[in-house]
Structure 1
C-alpha cells in the first residue's frame, strides 16, 4: 500500500488556509462510490431506472455506518490529510457518513438553497430548532466540513456552491461572541451579506472526490438542472480535542492558522 504521509502539498495547505478548502481527487475508490450509491438509492425509495419516481427535488438521508461509507471516510489518503489540516491525531476516525442530501433533476425550488455555515453545537438545548444551533470562533466540536461525492457531479448537477475565502469573514464575525458563539439564526440575519464579495466556485468532480473544508466556509445548495441525481455526503470531521487559538507551543493546525490570520493574531 502506498504511503500517504504527505497527502497534501505545502501549496495545497496554503490554499486551504487562504481559500478555505482543498479538493482531493480519487480520495476513495469508485467501487465504494458505486456500493454506497446502491445503498442510497434503496433508502430513497426511488427507482434509478424510472425518472417518474423522482418526484422531489431533494431527499435527505441521515447518517449511515454501512461498510462502504466507513471505508470511504477512512482511506489512508484521507487520514493523512486529516492529520495535515487539523493536527496529527487531533481528530476522531469517522464511524460512517451523513447526512446525504440526494438531489434530483427538478424545476422546483429545493427550499434549502440559502447560504450558510454548518453549526456544531447547541442542539441539546434546542433539539427541534435548527436555527438555534450554534458555532463559535474556536469551532467547538467540529474540525472540518467535508463533502464526499458518491456520483459524478458536473456544473448542472446541483454542485455545492462555495464562497472562496469566506471562512475569514465568518471568523471575524464570530470573534466578538466568544465561546458562546452565534446561532445560525443570528449568522443568517443578513443572508450572509458579509461573504457576498467572495468569489464563488462549484464543488464538482468525479465520484470519489472529497472536498475538505474549513468549518467556517460559507456554502449553499442549488437546484438540479442536469439529468442524473446527485449523491453526496456532508459530514463533519469531529475533533479528539478542541481547537485552540492560543497554543503555548505554537503548534497550530492549518484550520487554527486560518482563524488566527483572519483575526490578525498570526
Structure 2
C-alpha cells in the first residue's frame, strides 16, 4: 500500500512514481510483441520509423499481467478507492519514440480527454472532452516498457498543474471543455509550473491525476523508448461534493476548487 506521505504527495503534485511496479521480464515480452507488430528490429535502426509510432490496446496476457500486479492494485485502491476502479483487460495505447530530433503531435502540453461530447467525432480525439468530475477516467498511467533516462524522450509533467486544470474546468460544469480548448488554456495557465520528467526503469509506472498537464518530447538518446499510457477507468463516477470520504483523486480536485 502507498503510505500517507505518498498519497499526500500525489494530492499535491499530481503523480507518483512506482518503481518495479511490474516485472522487467514482462516488459521484455511485451516489447518483443510490439517490435513484431511494427515490422521492425531492435538490431536494425534502418527499420525504425521516426519520430514516433503508435500501437493500440493489446489483449495479450503479458500486457494484462503488467497492469494487474498486487503492487499496482494496492496503489489503485489507495488513490481511487477499493472497488471504485475497473480492472484493465488490455494495455495500451503505446507510444514508441525513436531517436531523432523531430517533434510529434503529442509534444504539446495537454490533458488527455476522457469522454465524447454530442458533437465529438469518433476519429478526432481532440474533439473529446474533460469535465471537472473527470468523467470516464480515474487515472492517467504511464507504463515504462524500456529504460528511460533524461535523453530518452521521457514524458514531461507539469508538477501541481492538475489543480489549475480543476479550476479551469469547474465553471464549465458537466459539459467541460474539448481537448483543443483545454490545451490552449493550460498552455498559459500552467506555463510557470515546475517540470518533472517520467524517467525510470522498464517495469516502473507513473500514476497521474487525470488532470495532470503533460507533454512528449523528441528522443535525443540512442535507444527507442517504449511507453504505454492507458487510462484507469472508474467503476463508478467520481464525487467532488456531498458526504465523504473522498478518494485522493477527488480530494485533489476539491482542494483546488473550494
Q: TM-score range by the shorter chain?
A: over 0.9
| Structural RMSD (CA) | 1.1
State the distance in 1 between where 2:117 and 2:227 align.
23
Q: Does 1:43 align with 2:37?
A: yes
Deviation at 1:198, TM superposition (A): 0.8
- 1:221 lines up with 2:247 in the alignment: no
Within 2, Cα distance between the matches of 1:151 and 1:84? Answer: 26
- Contact 1:123 / 1:130 at 8 angstroms: preserved in 2? no
Q: CA deviation at 1:65?
A: 1.1
CA distance, structure 2, for counterparts of residue 78 and residue 227 of structure 1 = 30
1:154 to 149, 156, 170: 149
Say if 1:150 and 1:208, in contact at 8 Å, map to a contact too. yes
Does residue 1:34 correspond to 2:28, yes or no? yes
Cα distance in 1 between the residues matched to 2:176 and 2:38: 35
Q: Distance in 1 between matches of 2:68 and 2:29?
A: 16
In the superposition, the TM-score normalised over structure 2's length comes to 0.97
What is the rounded CA distance, in whole Å, between the counterparts of 1:120 and 1:82 in structure 2?
A: 18
SS across alignment from 1:40? helix
Q: Where in structure 2 are there 5+ consecutive unaligned residues?
A: none
**Partner residue of 1:128 out of 113, 123, 139:** 123
Structure 1 residue runs of 4 or more that deviate by more than 3 Å after TM superposition: none
Contact 2:94 2:227 in 1 (8 A): yes
Confirm or deny: 8 A CA contact 2:111 2:183 kept in the other structure.
no
Gap runs ≥5 in structure 1: 1-6
Tell me if the contact between 2:186 and 2:213 (Cα under 8 Å) persists in the aligned partners.
Answer: no
Is the Cα–Cα contact under 8 Å of residues 148 and 225 in structure 2 kept in the other structure? yes
How far apart are residue 191 of structure 1 and its match?
5.8
